Structure 1
Amino acid sequence: MINIKKFAAIDIGSNAMRLLVTNIVEQKDKQTQFNKSALVRVPIRLGQDAFTLGSISQENIDRMLDALKAFKLLMKVHKVEQYKVCATSALREAQNAKEIVAFIKEEADIKIDIIDGKMEAAIIAASDLKQFINSEKTYLYVDVGGGSTEFSLFVEGKIIVSKSFKNGTVRLLNNMVDDAVWEEIEKWIKTVTADYEGIALIGSGGNINKLFKLSEKNQDSPLSYVYLSTQYQLLNAMSYEQRISELALNPDRADVIIPAIRIYLNAMKWSGARQIYVPKIGLSDGIVKAMYYGRI
């Protein structure tokens, strides 16, 4: 006898908004399964407004409202029982964030929770990583977003420390990350990984997922530092238009993928990692699990 529940998570990020619908399969004396049922991504780059103008433009507020109304209808069709909406870096920093949250609540009856970097890192790290983590090894989990990057160190299968930095792809595109931020990240990574050897990275985020797909590797196979470095040079040598036409990258992916790889490469270099595993998980997956286990 099995029991199936449907939960959903909406992630309002700096580069895009995502709706994840998950089937939660419960069976007596068996581990609960979390199976993705649907994933919808809408490229509304809120971070471009928040980081450069200080607030979200009316045009993007309207687009956000339309997307959330569409997501709500999709959840109704999927018969979702419970859902949660979390916003990250862009809304954290937008001066008109409170007004936007109130507007969305009034117009769509949708409650948005703006989570801080520490909470974001904790939710992401709580995603199901068992098939990728060997309890005898050490991993640095790196989730690259548009406005921030979250790092978590796993030792013997447990999170030892997590930290969020204001360094993301949209910020980098707009030259908003100075050397001091890079130096802070380097110091933090080197400090927390100093006592461990044989570290591997676990990468999450749309850009590393796309890069992994282009590699045509099996899901449980890691990407190497050499491969990432080679792809970084290759993509840098191509024009924005070539990345779209020759690699079939979406327009909103073709620019941010380069700064994303830069972050992963630096994380590998500073931690001494030579491999990066790429499970298809992220903040949305973590939100669903956190809801199910009553953590948020």
Structure 2
Amino acid sequence: MRIRKFAAIDVGSNGVRLLIANVLEVEGMEPKFSKSSLVRVPIRLGTDVFVNGQISEVNAQRLVDSIQAFKLLMQVHKVEEYKACATSAMREAKNGSEVSSLIKKKTGVTINIIDGSDEAAIIAATDLHALIENDKTYLYVDVGGGSTEFTVYSQGETVVSKSFKVGTVRLLNEMVSRDTWVEVEQWIKENTHQYENISLIGSGGNINKIFKISGRKLGTPLSYKYLNEYYQYLTSFTYEERISILELNQDRADVIIHASRIYLNAMKWSKASRIYVPKIGLSDGIVKSLYNSTLQGQTIG
């Protein structure tokens, strides 16, 4: 038996995460992945970028400090390999490359700025396929702060995938036009209308939080009715009340409303009545792809 450690840094639009994972190798068995540590820092880069076009000096320094702290944590955990990826906010920031270079200079960590299709491909490297039944159809919806990735799976295969600039931080700052919503609606309807009994698979911190609050057993789906009722429940409270009464973190209490809207709309437009929440995302995909690369003898970038 051998236990190996890998890590992923996800520089998102609503927060920055470090996932450290154990990979258990036993001869004659498939490797088993488990979370060893998960740290999240609420640096809302999306507010800087989507409103002002660039990352502020204050948040650039917070990001450098966070990455430095993550590097120390990885050293303590004796991580074998790691990779850092950044999504919408860093990608769209005028000074994204400049901030990335600063991080490299100060911490030695290379930030890989990826696009929506890269993000979807990395997520596909997770154990998502192990959750998909070959005789069923799913619409996978990964909601982030800056964008949402949609992927249709049918007969165990990827049919089509697309990324839209509809994210929780954009919605919070009223930066998603009616035309963009119409485009998303049309894409979902065009790519799901031919399927019957389609289900959603949801990923992202907000749907994970909603699922945890539901108290349901992992693998049990949430119904459209439940999600809609919870959305109505959330909107009956003010932002301050969602923090003080519902005990949501301050950087979750505002965006969770907008994430719920995205999932509900996706369910309505695809005519899905349930959503599965497997608790996977970009960080999990990075770890899985890193591990697979070491097995193939590839050099990690």
**CA–CA distance in structure 1, aligned partners of residues 38 and 63 of structure 2:** 17
**CA–CA distance in structure 1, aligned partners of residues 40 and 157 of structure 2:** 31
Residue 269 in 1 paired to residue 268 in 2? yes
1:131, distance to aligned residue in structure 2 (A): 5.0
Where do 1:165-184 residues align within 5 Å?
A: 165-184=164-183
Asked if the contact 1:186/1:270 (under 8 Å) is kept, the reply is yes
1:130, distance to aligned residue in structure 2 (A): 4.4
Count of residues in Structure 1 that have an aligned counterpart in Structure 2: 295
**CA–CA distance in structure 1, aligned partners of residues 117 and 131 of structure 2:** 23
Percentage identity across paired residues of the two chains: 61
Question: Structure 2: which amino acid aligns with 1:24?
Answer: V
Where do 1:127-138 residues align within 5 Å?
A: 127-138=126-137
Question: Structure 2: which amino acid aligns with 1:282?
Answer: G
Where do 1:18-37 residues align within 5 Å?
A: 18-37=17-36
Where do 1:108-119 residues align within 5 Å?
A: 108-119=107-118
Question: Structure 1: which amino acid aligns with 2:223?
Answer: S
1:201, distance to aligned residue in structure 2 (A): 0.3
SS in 1 for 2:160: strand
1:24, distance to aligned residue in structure 2 (A): 1.0
Asked if the contact 1:11/1:284 (under 8 Å) is kept, the reply is yes
Asked if the contact 1:125/1:152 (under 8 Å) is kept, the reply is no
Match of residue 16 from structure 1? 15
**CA–CA distance in structure 2, aligned partners of residues 154 and 193 of structure 1:** 10
Asked if the contact 1:7/1:80 (under 8 Å) is kept, the reply is yes
**CA–CA distance in structure 1, aligned partners of residues 114 and 217 of structure 2:** 34
Question: Structure 2: which amino acid aligns with 1:160?
Answer: V
**CA–CA distance in structure 1, aligned partners of residues 194 and 24 of structure 2:** 39
Give me the TM-score of the superposition, normalised by structure 2. 0.96
Where do 1:140-289 residues align within 5 Å?
A: 140-289=139-288
1:232, distance to aligned residue in structure 2 (A): 1.0
SS in 2 for 1:266: helix
SS in 1 for 2:166: coil
Give a deviation string over 1:206-265, Cα, whole Å, max 9, x none. 000111111111111110101111111111110011111111100000000000000000
Moved over 6 A (4+): none
Match of residue 40 from structure 2? 41
1:26, distance to aligned residue in structure 2 (A): 1.7
* Comparing 49-58 and 159-168, the one that deviates more: 159-168
Give a deviation string over 1:115-166, Cα, whole Å, max 9, x none. 0011011111321124532221111110100000011111122222111100
Question: Structure 2: which amino acid aligns with 1:59?
Answer: V
**CA–CA distance in structure 1, aligned partners of residues 28 and 279 of structure 2:** 26
Asked if the contact 1:125/1:141 (under 8 Å) is kept, the reply is no
Asked if the contact 1:141/1:151 (under 8 Å) is kept, the reply is yes
**CA–CA distance in structure 1, aligned partners of residues 231 and 153 of structure 2:** 27
SS in 1 for 2:139: strand
SS in 2 for 1:11: strand
Structure 1's unaligned 5+ residue stretches are: none
**CA–CA distance in structure 2, aligned partners of residues 130 and 151 of structure 1:** 15
Asked if the contact 1:20/1:39 (under 8 Å) is kept, the reply is yes
Match of residue 6 from structure 1? 5
**CA–CA distance in structure 2, aligned partners of residues 20 and 138 of structure 1:** 30
Structure 2's unaligned 5+ residue stretches are: none
Question: Structure 2: which amino acid aligns with 1:68?
Answer: I
Asked if the contact 1:132/1:277 (under 8 Å) is kept, the reply is no
**CA–CA distance in structure 1, aligned partners of residues 158 and 30 of structure 2:** 21
Asked if the contact 1:122/1:162 (under 8 Å) is kept, the reply is no
